[in-house]
Structure formats: structure tokens, C-alpha cells
Structure 1
Amino acid sequence: MDCLILRFDAPLMSFGAVVVDQINPTWRFPGRAMLAGLLGNALGWDHRDVAKLQALQDRLRFAARWDAEPQLLIDYQTVDLGQPFFVGTGWTTRGRREDRKGGSAATSTHQRWREHWANGVATVALALDGNGAPTLSDLEHALRAPARALFIGRKPCLPAAPILVGLRQAEGVKAALAAEPLADIGPRTRPSAVPAIWPLDEGPGAAIEERYDRRDWQNNIHRGAQRYAVGNLEITA
């Protein structure tokens, strides 16, 4: 199987879990929708390309690990809606303005809590199931020369180094990830074991994790669960 090796090395990154009210958590590992969005951005697609994004998401196969242990950082964001130019409005969510009309909500402080991973390095092995466009070669070219600036989960999460490491041959994405040497992480902390996530059909893990990391791109909502194996990965490189 042909696999692309990606490396996420950034001061901050976020892997968007299920949002509850104004709390925006992050998954421990990258998710299917997040990877589809990143690749679509590299290809020059936007949110109007819903059929392409949906098809790409459905074909993705990936495994991910942490090479440098990240720290959870919660970004507390506020805006004072009492200021004259903010009266009646809030922030934008899912492409629509959040209106605040009447009561204390119209003039109070609007709050959000957004989780990020700080100072970590994650490595991802990625492949495509089935045939069609884009091909893995298309994704490789797009990551070498992306159509737009790339970010890892959220727009402020800019990579500190090129994301693409290279093309590898392996029996599966888990095997490709295990065969890839650990990243040079400098003074950052190496985990005592290498935590990882991979497809269930590529071997059991210490546990099974079910995540709602599939996006309905047409309706711009997360919908659909995926089960993964999680555990410590033995590096064979």
C-alpha cells in the first residue's frame, strides 16, 4: 500500500471534537474530517466543494502517533457585547452571525473555551481506499506546493515546518507509521510510550475508541461515528 507520511509540528494544533455550547474540545489524535479539510485546502478546494470533500473523507485511511508529548492548552476568548459596535451581534458560527437580542445576553460578555495541543509533534500515515480523484499522487503534489496556506485544525494553528515527509510503501497505515523513525523533537518531551491510533482492521489495540469525526459537508455539521484502535505503537525503524 502507498502511504503518505505527514508531520504536524506546530506551537498549537487542534483536532476538533464534539462542541458543547461554547466549549470547543479537541480529540487526542487527528480526525477524519480535519484531515479531509486540510487536504482539500492544499488542493485549493473550499466549502462549496462539498461532494469532493465528502468523497475524499470517505476514502481516507490513517494512523497517527505522538512523537513529542503535547500539553493541553485552553484558550479562553471573550468579547464585550456591550460596546456600541457589538450591540445585537455575537461571533459567527457555522457561517451565520450569532444575534443577541434582548436581556442580559445582548450586552454581556460572550465567552468561548477552545482547547489546543501545545508544543507537540504528531506523525500521520495516510492512504486512500478505492479509486478515483484525487489520487495519492495528487495529494502528495498538493502538500508539496499547497494552493493556500495550511493550518492544523484551526486557522491560528500554523505549522512550524513542511507537513509532508514523503511517500512510503507498507502493508497498511499502521505498519507505515511503525516503520517511520521518530521525529527530531529537540528539547521537547518524548512520551514514555508512543501513543497511537489506527484502523480497527489493521490490528487490535489496548482499547477501541468511537469518535464522531465524520463531517456532513453538505449541511456543515459533524455527523457519523468511526471506531478506531488505540494503544502504544512499537516503532520498528
Structure 2
Amino acid sequence: MMDVLFLRFDAPMMSFGGPIIDNRGVIQAYPALSMITGLLGNALGVDHSEHERLQDLQERIRHAVRRDREGKRLQDYQTVDFSKPYMDDARAWTTDGRLEQRKGGSASSGTHIRERDYLAGACYTIALTLDRPSESPTLDDLADALRAPARPLFIGRKPCLPAEPLYAGRTTAEDLTAALSDPEFFPNERDDGPYAIWMEADRDDPQARPYTDRRDWQNQVHTGQRWVKEDHVEIATSA
């Protein structure tokens, strides 16, 4: 049996970012390993400069994701005119604590355009456990941090604020698939089953597909591949 921690992603908008190509920020079907790591690190109060702590946490996480409510995809068309005088000040801070020195643009070339995809009205449940469970942070540490996070938490991008607390409970189960079948950990508002789930798989599994969702936290880039498969679960019923 394994100890399992549940997170609930329920929000008006959320974003499971995939590779950004030019100005287009697409999303993928499930929250990436790096996203889960960053969210937990944020809850714990880990700084971006503490890349070894984030890398170690990422390597210890084992998680599976269930989609409870599919929601709808929407695209946000964003423009910022950098030629405006007020965009040439020094008031913007990056996530690693550095002051971002903006340079104003000309009226003809100063407008920055980008497209960002989101999920609206979706709901996901994450079942998570840790390798080397006695090491810090433990599942107890993660649960405490999610209940009282060191910093505000968001689901993907900063505008994506959760509609309810992210901590959704604890259980013990034979594996993550069994945990995601437990009727106690389904939201009240959900689609009809079966429910899509995503989990790490062996490379030779015919359902497995490669995803680049591990992060090199020292160099702040995504690298390497994980093999992830999509499956389905139903709500378990007692015999």
C-alpha cells in the first residue's frame, strides 16, 4: 500500500502549458510534472534559485491525473504596446526576483502580440505520492503547505486562480489508479464516466506516448522525455 495525497484543480480558467512556438502558447491534456513541481515548490516557499531542491522534488514525485470535468478550450488574444512611455519604467519583477529592465519600442514595432490557450470550467484531480517518503519534504509537509501556502498559488498561469483549496485529502491505496477510483475523492460536479486518466508508463507499453514535461530547474528549460499513457477509470463500487 502507498500513501497518496490528492490535489483538486477546479478553476474558472486553468492552463497546462505545452511548448510555446513563436507567440502561441498551447496547452496539453494534463498538468505536466514540472507544473506540479513548481506549484508544490511555491506552496513550500522554495525560491527559484534553490534549483537543487526543486530538481530533487521533481525526481521524487509520482503522480496520476484524472479529468473530472472536461471544460472548454478558449484562446486569449493579448497585445501590449511597448512604445507607451509608462512601459519604459522599471517596475516589473521576474519570478526569480530580478528587476526586469524594459526598453520602449517604436510606435511601429513596439506592440507585442501573443495568443494563450486556456481551459474554462474544467476540473482535474491529481493523486500524488513520493519516492523516498521519509525524506523532506514529506507528504505531510506538502499537505501542510497546500493548506497554508507560503505564496499565492495558481493553476498554470498567474490569472488562473483556484476556485477552492487545492488540498483534497489523503488516503492509502494499492496504486495511483486505485486511488483515483475511490468514490470519496470525486467532486460533486463532474461529467459522466468513464474518466480519462494520465500516468507514467513503461516505454514498451503500447499506450505510452513521449512527453517533454521534466524541467532542468538550474537552466530553466524543459528537457528529457517521460513516457505517459492515457487510460480510463470508473467510480469504484463496494462489493
TM-score above 0.5:
yes
Judge conservation of contact 1:88–1:101 (CA < 8 Å) in 2. no
Kindly report which structure 2 residues correspond to 1:55-70, keeping only aligned pairs within 5 A, or say none: 55-70=56-71
Q: AA paired with 1:166? A: G
Deviation at 1:209, TM superposition (A): 2.5
Aligned pairs for 1:180-191 within 5 A: 180=183, 181-185=185-189, 190=191
Match of 1:177 in 2: 180
- Superposition RMSD in Å: 2.7
Question: How many angstroms apart in 2 are the aligned matches of 1:124 and 1:145?
Answer: 19
Give the match's secondary structure for 1:229.
strand
The residue number in structure 1 matching 2:217 is 217
- SS in structure 2 opposite 1:17? strand
- Most deviating of 191-200 and 16-25: 191-200
* Structure 1 residues 79 and 172: alpha-carbon distance in aligned structure 2, compared to 1, 3 A threshold: same
How many Å separate the matches in 2 of 1:93 and 1:26? 22
The CA distance in 1 between the partners of 2:224 and 2:102, in whole Å, is: 26
Alignment of 1:68-217 (within 5 A): 68-86=69-87, 104-105=108-109, 107=110, 109-131=111-133, 132-180=135-183, 181-185=185-189, 190=191, 193-200=194-201, 207-217=207-217
**Secondary structure class of the residue paired with 1:127:** strand
Normalised TM-score (structure 2): 0.85
Q: Residues 21 and 94 of structure 1: is their aligned pair in 2 closer, same or farther, counting only changes over 3 Å?
A: farther
1:30-65 deviation digits (Å, cap 9, x = unpaired): 110000011011111121111100100111111111
Report the count of equivalent residues: 229
Residue 19 of structure 1 deviates from its aligned partner by 1.1
What displacement does 1:82 show?
3.2
Contact 1:94–1:220, Cα closer than 8 Å, also in 2:
no
Q: Write the deviation string for residues 159-192 of structure 1: whole angstroms up to 9, x where unpaired.
A: 111111111101111221122443111xxx6155
- 1:210 Cα shift? 1.6
User: What SS does the corresponding residue of 2:35 show, helix, strand or coil?
Assistant: helix
Amino acid at match of 1:219: N
For the pair 1:22 / 2:23, whether they are aligned, the reply is yes
The 3-state SS of whatever aligns with 1:115 is strand
Structure 1 unpaired stretches of 5+: none
Unaligned runs of 5+ in 2: none
Offset, 1:193: 3.2
Q: Using the aligned pairs only, state the percent identity.
A: 43
Matched residues in 2 for 1:121 and 1:82: separation?
A: 39
The answer to whether the 8 Å contact 1:193/1:233 transfers is yes
